[in-house]
Structure 1
Amino acid sequence: MSSFKTFKAKVVTAAALAASATLALSGCATGNDDAGDKIRIGIKYDQPGLGYQDGKDYTGFDTEVARYVAKELGYNEDQIEWVESPSANRENMLSNGQVDMIFATYSITNTRLKSVDFAGPYFVAGQDLLVQKDNNDIHGPEQLNGKDLCSVTGSTSAKKIQDKFASDVQLVQQNSYSDCVVALNAGMVDAVTTDDIILAGLGSTKANQGQLKLVGNTFTTERYGVGLPKGSDKCGKINAAINKMVETGEWEKALDKSVGESGFKYNQKLNPPKLDNSCSKPTQDSK
């Protein structure tokens, strides 16, 4: 009887040790209490240099920043689930829980702040012009009178130039900025307009390298933020991650890797951003 008790005690002790080991291993799985099994990150799939799907690969500056932030939050790259997030669907995707955060040239505006939160910005862009490499006539929006200007159907970028800078500009609309670039290379339009870093990404593709150039004279301010569900408690941690990315030089490396081939020079008065621990607040000039 005593030998049975001794055997039973050994079994209980072994089970307890095994349970303790399992708990210890599970506690070390991510090193971060916030990290779950997966994190769903919304990006664009069709913006070269920013958010672009190439087979199973996802490339661009937005994805590089997203990877860095996710790692700082405790997620390995194989825990990231990339989700295509078209511009028109971003607020709904956050509100409905389809994604946990969005990095997709997502400008922080007063209107959007009513329904979602933003960490960041992680980049401050500005509207610019893309022209052929040998074009020396266009130095800014004021030189577009009588010229053909391309932008995407539904975009306000080209109309903004017509209203504020060049009333005689001829607006040409295409379904995508890639289509606008095809028209530019073919000489069908004189310039393409949208945010500078988007244009830089288009100019960085192999087909366009050495063929096009950015004018480099921005005339708007667009703060790209990290979209989050309303009431999120992640802004401070995300901002700290972005600050660390800047301080370590990884932000600069990511930008050069993504759009450096275009010769893009970012606005050093506005970039890289310096962030506090709070979510973005409404600004007077946001629209």
Structure 2
Amino acid sequence: MKLHKASAAVTAALVLSLTATACGGDSGDDGGSGDGGGKITIGIKFDQPGLGLKKPDGTYAGFDVDVATYVAKELGYEAKDIVWKESPSAERENLIANGDVKFVVASYSINDERKKKVDFAGPYFLAHQDLLVRSDDSSITKAEDLNSKKLCSVTGSTSAQNVKEELAPKADLQEFGGYSECLTGLENKAVDALTTDDSILAGYASQQEHQGKFKLAGLKLSDENYGIGLKKGDTELQTKINEALKKMESDGSWQKAVTANFGPSGYKNEPAPAIS
């Protein structure tokens, strides 16, 4: 009788063990171990044309998407294995720290404050703060010209504050809820210029409905080195991503992605930055 009970207990324990193992592998998302198989979750922007955009058909497009897809492939994941997660600017560090994403590719400028919370691979792109103006407007060729103009940016934008506080203190700053509102205002001559990173401006100007309407002023009001954000201390992944970025530049895929996503705006990009 005692032997029977012991056997039953062993059998029950074995069943529970097998069940737990099966449940543990249910998600199929390993977060990106680098060994391939399963899924990898990557953070991008969903609302930045030219960089990271979720299209009406549910697919994703943009330079950051192309970079992330290339890196994922070098880590052992096909495009179908990628789970895209929206990563608004204010949430990027939290998403990385909480393990909600393996890494973030989302116009993520490297700076000392952010490096206290996350590590970066790259940089993979050098952007500059710039101005977008109407294509027929030749009156704005330098930041100081905005002193008699209406400058638009999104509410809370540091880019607009930089111009207003340092370069054109007399500019009439108009703050809207989103870049699309600024573009409408620019087209309708309600505002004279829009400011943010030139890569973002080029993305909007490259959209089919905007082509030919706007141009970049070509000013370099700041340096913004975009990096790929990942969990603090994950040097193994950082090294693998850096190797992927170097390969992307050397085999021509980097420039091809830049041309495809920003080319229609006439954007003159900087060469691929050296990986630090």
The counterpart of 1:81, out of the listed 74, 80, 83, is 83
Contact 2:51 2:61 in 1 (8 A): yes
Partner of 1:17: none
- Paired residue secondary structure (1:206): coil
1:44 aligned to 2:45? yes
Inter-partner Cα distance in structure 2 for 1:33 and 1:238: 10
- Give distance in 2, aligned partners of 1:218 and 1:115: 28
Whole-Å Cα distance in 2 between the matches of residues 75 and 140 of structure 1?
45
1:266 matched to 2:274? The reply is no
Residue 34 of structure 1: how far off its partner (Å) = 2.7
Shift of 1:33: 5.7
CA distance in 1, matches of 2:161, 2:178: 16
Shift of 1:274: 2.0
Structure 2: distance between partners of 1:176 and 1:95: 28
Specify the alignment match of 1:119 in structure 2.
121
Matched, 1:243 2:213: no
Whether 2:217 is the aligned partner of 1:212: answer: no
Answering whether residue 59 of structure 2 is matched by residue 61 of structure 1, we say no
Q: Which of 89, 92, 105 is equivalent to 1:90?
A: 92
CA contact (8 A) 2:132 2:194 kept: yes
Q: Report the AA paired with residue 141 of structure 2.
A: H
Answer yes or no: is 1:101 the counterpart of 2:103: yes
Correspondence for 1:9: none
Rounded to whole Å, the distance in 2 between the matches of 1:193 and 1:82 is: 28
Supply the distance in 2 between the matched residues of 1:139 and 1:266 (Cα, whole angstroms).
18
Distance 1:240 1:105 in 2: 20
CA distance in 1, matches of 2:142, 2:52: 27
Q: Distance in 1 between matches of 2:163 and 2:274?
A: 30
Q: What are the within-5 Å matches in structure 2 for residues 103-252 of structure 1?
A: 103-232=105-234, 233-252=236-255
- Partners of 2:129 and 2:255 in 1: CA distance: 21
Distance in 2 of aligned mates of 1:240 and 1:185: 42
Tell me, yes or no, if the aligned pair for 2:34 and 2:75 is still in contact at 8 Å. no
Cα shift at 1:176: 1.1
- Counterpart CA distance in 1 for 2:199 and 2:193 is 15
Deviation at 1:146, TM superposition (A): 1.5
Q: Secondary structure at the match of 2:148?
A: coil
Distance 2:237 2:152 in 1: 38
**Cα shift at 1:35:** 2.6
Partner AA of 2:243 in structure 1: A
Q: Partner residue of 2:275?
A: 275
Moved over 4 A (4+): none
Q: Answer yes or no: is the 8 Å Cα contact 1:240–1:275 preserved in 2.
A: no
Displacement of 1:179: 1.4
Superposed CA deviations along residues 240-286 of structure 1, whole A, max 9, x for unmatched, are: 1111111111100001111111110013xxx211225xxxxxxxxxx
Q: Equivalents in 2 of 1:197, 1:178: separation in Å? A: 15
Query: Offset at 1:36?
Result: 4.2
Q: Which amino acid letter does the alignment assign opposite residue 46 of structure 1?
A: D
- What TM-score do you get using the length of structure 2 for normalisation? 0.86
Cα RMSD, aligned residues only: 1.1
Residue aligned with 2:114, SS: helix
TM-score (norm 1): 0.82
* Structure 2: runs of 5+ lacking an equivalent: 1-32
